[in-house]
C-alpha cells in the first residue's frame, strides 16, 4: 500500500506544480485553492509512504515522478520542447524510479 500512496503522491506533485502556473502568482483563488489542496494531499501521502519506504527511496521516487510528469505535461500543455535529448533524459528518470522500486527489497 505504501508504494500506491507514493505513486499517487508523485502524481499530485505534478498537479500542484502545474497548478502553480495557473495561479498566476497565487492571485487567482480557485486555482490557488486547488493547488494548495494538491500540495497538502501530496505531502500527506508521501508521509504515509515513508512509514515503510526508506526516506531516500521515497523522496527520490516522489521527485522523480514529479519531475518527469511535469516535464511531460509541459510538453503537452505548454508546447515545451520535446526534442530527443529531453525524451532520453525523461526515460532515464523514469528508469531510475522503476529501478528504485524493483530493487527496494522487502518494502511493500
46, 9 contact by CB (below 8 A):
yes
pLDDT at 103: 87
Here the cell at position 56 is 531516500
Q: For residues 5 and 48, what is the distance between their CA atoms, to the nearest angstrom?
A: 7
Q: Give the Cα separation of 108 and 96 in Å (integer).
A: 18
pLDDT tens digits for range 59-79: 999 999 999 999 999 999 999
Q: In 3D, which of 38, 42, 33 has the Cα closest to residue 7?
A: 42
Angle made by CA atoms 104, 105, 108, in degrees to the nearest 5:
80
Share of the chain above pLDDT 70, in %: 96
- Closest C-alpha to 91, from 61, 66, 67, 68: 68
106 CB burial (10 A radius; 0-12, 13-18, 19+) = exposed
- pLDDT score for 72: 97
Q: What pLDDT score was predicted for residue 70?
A: 97
Domain ranges of the chain: 2-102
Q: Which cell numbers hold the place of 100?
A: 528504485
**pLDDT over 70 (residue 92):** yes
Amino acid at each position: 500500500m505504501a508504494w500506491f500512496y507514493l505513486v499517487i503522491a508523485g502524481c499530485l506533485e505534478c498537479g500542484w506544480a502545474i497548478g502553480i502556473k495557473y495561479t498566476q502568482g497565487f492571485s487567482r483563488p480557485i486555482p490557488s485553492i486547488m493547488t494548495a489542496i494538491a500540495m497538502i494531499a501530496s505531502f500527506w501521502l508521501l508521509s504515509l509512504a515513508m512509514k515503510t519506504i526508506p526516506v531516500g527511496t521515497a523522496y527520490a521516487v516522489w521527485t522523480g515522478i514529479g519531475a518527469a510528469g511535469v516535464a511531460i505535461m509541459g510538453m503537452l500543455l505548454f508546447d515545451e520542447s520535446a526534442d530527443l535529448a529531453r525524451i532520453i533524459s525523461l526515460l532515464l528518470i523514469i528508469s531510475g524510479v522503476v529501478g528504485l522500486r524493483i530493487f527496494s527489497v522487502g518494502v511493500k
